[in-house]
């Protein structure tokens, strides 16, 4: 589904991402791990459109999306979450979800004045969907609260919910449990597993080894801008090169 | 005294139109347009120049509205792809450029300004004219309020407030925030252009010093006081600007133990005190924008 082919990016002569290739199949949970400074976030931003690569290609369902601006990447079905949650803090929780629905008639200027029956019908349908997402996230109680009032973990959940509203082909999670307490982290893991069972696909960057080892089907390990290893969590855990990269042994 | 009150309200209502325009840009979409007064000036000069060359009075402000909106397009194109700070700088620079251009051009009357601009409701008796003028502006304010309310209550408006909170998140959801920010910049500026047209035909004389950047900051202050609801922005700007206008002459009554020049400083000092108190006790302004609660769970709800 997602194919990253020999992606390159350098900043001032430093090859931060140095020919990385990876590949995510439909229905998989793929993890991307690596020590700090390995280039994971840069790779992530090259894929979702925050940065333009110096070389290489990104394909989503065989469509070349290399170098697309982030709104086009989002519209093509590749949805991301942020390491530090980027919620619409002054909107209510349910409004955060409603905004995320793609292609709304009511978001076109002229429709606001001429197409209001259709807008109302769409809004009602979108609200139903938003309530079902809130049900899934166990967040119905806070539906009308401001997003700014949520805890850190709830914010991560809401970001996941926002991505779900768009019915994405692939969800990229950027450190979904960073700074989240273990109980809520397990809740997030179980939600991701359930979604995978429903046919969703995930690519996850994560530092929390326990979390990602228990969740991912496959892992890519990155170090110094390159993909060091690819394999199942069990294989990667015992791999000598991976251990060296983490422990800093040459 | 009644005349003075009507004139005060008239200025207040014109500035309320400005407040509504800037509130859409800043309060709802998060655009920091420090050069807002320039669009007011563009509207005023467009309308004045057109009618002085024989265009009918109704055409002037309407064209002023359109031109001010169109002028916002290149400003937005230049700055909105970058972050908000650039819009603040570019728009502020634009306002300076517009003022300098007006001062140094012949066709704008230069520093002397333009005189003899047709007044609104000129055929009517001077006794009733102010009331008709005030009535017209108040009707325009109410229409603008209604239309803006409608716009911002729709999914369109919700998306604007989402953009205000996080441009990155809106883009990541597959929506091109730049288009919406550009549209808002144009709509709000068009409203300022309309206000400018009305202003020119109300006072009948315009000159560059009336379009100083101070006015932009007065409108910002009015919105801070009023809050980001449309009513709040309109009423806040109306009250604040009216207060600033009316207290201008308070020094003449010699009731305060200060000289005239000191008094001007005292007024600004009071503005500061008001803002500090507001930030302490009611940061969201007097009438903040309220979102609609969605309590119903739809037909399939089960809990």
pLDDT in tens, A28-37: 999 999 888 8
- 3-class secondary-structure state, position B114: strand
pLDDT value of position A71: 94
Asked whether residue A63 falls in the same domain as residue A9, the answer is yes
Three-state SS across chain A? CEEEEEEEEEECCEEEEEEEEEEECCCCEEEEECCCCCCHHHHHHHHHCCCCCCEEEEEECCEECCCCCHHHHHHCCEEECCCCCCCCCCCEHHHHHHHCCCCCHHHCHHHHHHCHHHHHHHHHHHHHHHHHHHHHHCCHHHCCCEHHHCCHHHHHHHHHHHHHHCCCCEEEEECCCCCCCHHHHHHHHHHHHHHHHCCCCEEEECCCHHHHHHHCCEEEEEECCEEEEEECHHHHHHCHHHHHHHHCCC
Q: What is the mean pLDDT of residues B59-69?
A: 96
Cβ proximity of B220 and B35 under 8 Å: no
DSSP-derived letter for residue B206 is: B
**Any A CB within 8 A of B154 CB:** yes
Shortest Cα distance from B20 to chain A (angstroms)? 18
Q: Band the pLDDT of A157: cuts 50, 70, 90.
A: very high
Residue ending a domain, choose from A149, A169, A195: A149
User: A48: nearest CA in chain B?
Assistant: B172
Shortest Cα distance from A245 to chain B (angstroms)? 32
Q: What is the mean pLDDT of residues B48-56?
A: 93
Cβ proximity of A210 and A237 under 8 Å: no
pLDDT in tens, A107-120: 999 999 988 889 99
Q: Choose among B172, B176, B291: nearest Cβ to A48.
A: B172
pLDDT value of position B295: 64
Q: Band the pLDDT of A91: cuts 50, 70, 90.
A: very high
**Any B CB within 8 A of A194 CB:** no
Q: Band the pLDDT of B84: cuts 50, 70, 90.
A: low
CATH of the domain at A76: 3.40.50.300
User: B176: nearest CA in chain A?
Assistant: A71
Q: Which of A97, A107, A160 has the most B C-beta neighbours within 10 Å, making it the best mutation to test the interface with B?
A: A107
Cβ proximity of A162 and A133 under 8 Å: no
Task: Show which of residues 27-86 on chain A sit within 8 Å of chain B, judged by CB atoms.
Answer: 48, 50, 69-76, 79-80, 82, 86
**Any B CB within 8 A of A9 CB:** no
Asked whether residue A20 falls in the same domain as residue A97, the answer is no
Q: Which residue has the higher pLDDT, A202 or B213?
A: A202
Q: Band the pLDDT of B303: cuts 50, 70, 90.
A: very low
In chain A, which residues have their Cβ closer than 8 Å to the Cβ of B166? 86-89
Cα separation, B212 vs B216, in Å, equals 8
Residue ending a domain, choose from A100, A120, A149: A149
Asked whether residue A117 falls in the same domain as residue A241, the answer is no
Residue B198 has pLDDT above 70, yes or no: yes
| Residue contact A70–B300, C-beta within 8 A | no
Asked whether residue A169 falls in the same domain as residue A184, the answer is yes
pLDDT in tens, A12-25: 888 899 999 999 99
Check residue B185 and give left, alpha or beta (phi > 0: left; psi -120 to 50: alpha): alpha
Q: Which of B169, B227, B296 has the most A C-beta neighbours within 10 Å, making it the best mutation to test the interface with A?
A: B169
pLDDT value of position B242: 82
Asked whether residue A73 falls in the same domain as residue A19, the answer is yes
Asked whether residue A37 falls in the same domain as residue A116, the answer is no
What total number of domains does chain A contain? 2
Asked whether residue A131 falls in the same domain as residue A239, the answer is no
Residue B158 has pLDDT above 90, yes or no: yes
Q: Which residue has the higher pLDDT, B15 or B264?
A: B15
pLDDT value of position B301: 46
**Any B CB within 8 A of A227 CB:** no
pLDDT value of position B179: 94
pTM of the model: 0.91
Residue A247 has pLDDT above 80, yes or no: no
Asked whether residue A20 falls in the same domain as residue A61, the answer is yes
Asked whether residue A174 falls in the same domain as residue A198, the answer is yes
Q: Band the pLDDT of A237: cuts 50, 70, 90.
A: confident
| Residue contact A91–B162, C-beta within 8 A | yes
Q: Is residue B236 part of a domain?
A: no
Q: Is residue B168 part of a domain?
A: yes
Q: Is residue B235 part of a domain?
A: no
Asked whether residue A127 falls in the same domain as residue A19, the answer is no
| Residue contact B175–A128, C-beta within 8 A | no
Q: Is residue B8 part of a domain?
A: yes
pLDDT value of position A197: 94
Q: Choose among A79, A96, A107: nearest Cβ to B172.
A: A79
Q: Band the pLDDT of B302: cuts 50, 70, 90.
A: very low
**Any A CB within 8 A of B303 CB:** yes
In chain A, which residues have their Cβ closer than 8 Å to the Cβ of B169? 82, 86-88, 162
pLDDT above 90 as % of chain A: 72
Residue ending a domain, choose from A132, A149, A166: A149
Cα separation, A4 vs B231, in Å, equals 51
Q: Is residue B162 part of a domain?
A: yes
Q: Which domain holds residue A99?
A: 91-149
Q: Is residue B268 part of a domain?
A: no
Q: Which domain holds residue B193?
A: 2-211
Q: Choose among B155, B168, B293: nearest Cβ to A123.
A: B155
pLDDT in tens, B235-271: 999 988 888 877 766 666 666 677 777 777 887 888 8
**Any B CB within 8 A of A110 CB:** no
Asked whether residue A187 falls in the same domain as residue A228, the answer is yes
Q: Which of B83, B157, B174, B283 has the most A C-beta neighbours within 10 Å, making it the best mutation to test the interface with A?
A: B174
Q: Band the pLDDT of B83: cuts 50, 70, 90.
A: low
Asked whether residue A142 falls in the same domain as residue A22, the answer is no
What total number of domains does chain B contain? 1
**Any B CB within 8 A of A25 CB:** no
């Amino acid at each position: 589904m997602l194919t990253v082919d020999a992606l390159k990016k350098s900043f001032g002569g430093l090859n931060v991402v140095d020919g990385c290739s990876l590949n995510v199949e439909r229905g998989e949970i793929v993890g991307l791990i690596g020590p700090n400074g390995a280039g994971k976030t840069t790779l992530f931003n090259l894929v979702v459109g925050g940065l333009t690569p110096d070389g290489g290609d990104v394909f989503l369902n065989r469509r070349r999306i290399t170098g697309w601006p982030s709104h086009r990447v989002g519209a093509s079905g590749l949805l991301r979450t942020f390491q530090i949650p980027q919620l619409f803090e002054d909107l209510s929780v349910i409004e955060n979800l409603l905004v995320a629905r793609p292609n709304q008639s009511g978001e076109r200027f002229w429709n606001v004045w001429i197409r209001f029956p259709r807008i109302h019908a769409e809004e009602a349908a979108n609200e139903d969907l938003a309530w079902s997402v809130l049900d899934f996230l166990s967040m119905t109680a806070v539906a009308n609260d401001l997003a700014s009032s949520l805890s850190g973990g709830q914010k991560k959940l809401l970001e996941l919910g926002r991505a779900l509203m768009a019915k994405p082909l692939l969800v990229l999670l950027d450190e979904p449990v960073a700074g989240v307490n273990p109980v809520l982290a397990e809740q997030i893991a179980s939600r991701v597993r359930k979604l995978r069972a429903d046919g969703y696909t995930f690519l996850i960057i994560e530092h929390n080894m326990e979390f990602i080892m228990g969740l991912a089907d496959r892992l890519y390990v990155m170090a110094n801008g390159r993909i060091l290893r690819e394999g199942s969590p069990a294989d990667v855990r015992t791999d000598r090169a991976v251990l060296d990269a983490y422990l800093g042994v040459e | 005294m009644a005349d003075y009150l009507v004139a005060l309200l008239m200025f207040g209502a014109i500035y309320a139109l400005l407040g509504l325009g800037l509130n859409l840009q800043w309060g709802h979409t998060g655009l920091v347009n420090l050069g807002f007064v320039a669009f007011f000036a563009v509207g005023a000069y467009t309308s004045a120049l057109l009618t002085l060359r024989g265009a009918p009075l109704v055409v002037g402000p309407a064209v002023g509205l359109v031109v001010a909106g169109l002028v916002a397009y290149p400003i937005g194109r230049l700055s909105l792809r970058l972050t908000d700070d650039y819009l603040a700088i570019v728009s502020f620079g634009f306002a300076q450029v517009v003022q300098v251009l007006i001062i140094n051009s012949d066709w704008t009357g230069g520093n002397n300004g333009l005189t003899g601009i047709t007044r609104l409701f000129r055929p009517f008796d001077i006794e009733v004219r102010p009331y008709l003028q005030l009535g017209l502006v108040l009707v325009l304010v109410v229409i603008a309020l209604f239309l803006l309310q409608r716009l911002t209550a729709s999914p369109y408006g919700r998306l604007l407030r989402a953009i205000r909170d996080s441009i990155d998140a809106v883009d990541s959801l597959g929506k091109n925030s730049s288009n919406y920010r550009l549209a808002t910049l144009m709509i709000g500026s068009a409203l300022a252009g309309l206000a400018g047209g009305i202003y020119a035909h109300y006072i009948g004389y315009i000159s560059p010093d009336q379009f100083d950047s101070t006015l932009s900051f007065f409108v910002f202050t009015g919105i801070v006081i009023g809050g980001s609801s449309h009513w709040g922005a309109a009423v806040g700007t109306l009250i604040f600007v009216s207060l600033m206008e009316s207290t201008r002459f308070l020094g003449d009554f010699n009731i305060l133990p200060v000289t005239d020049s000191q008094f001007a400083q005292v007024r600004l000092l009071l503005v500061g005190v008001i803002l500090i108190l507001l930030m302490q006790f009611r940061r969201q302004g007097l009438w903040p924008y309220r979102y609609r609660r969605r309590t119903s769970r739809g037909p399939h709800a089960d809990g």
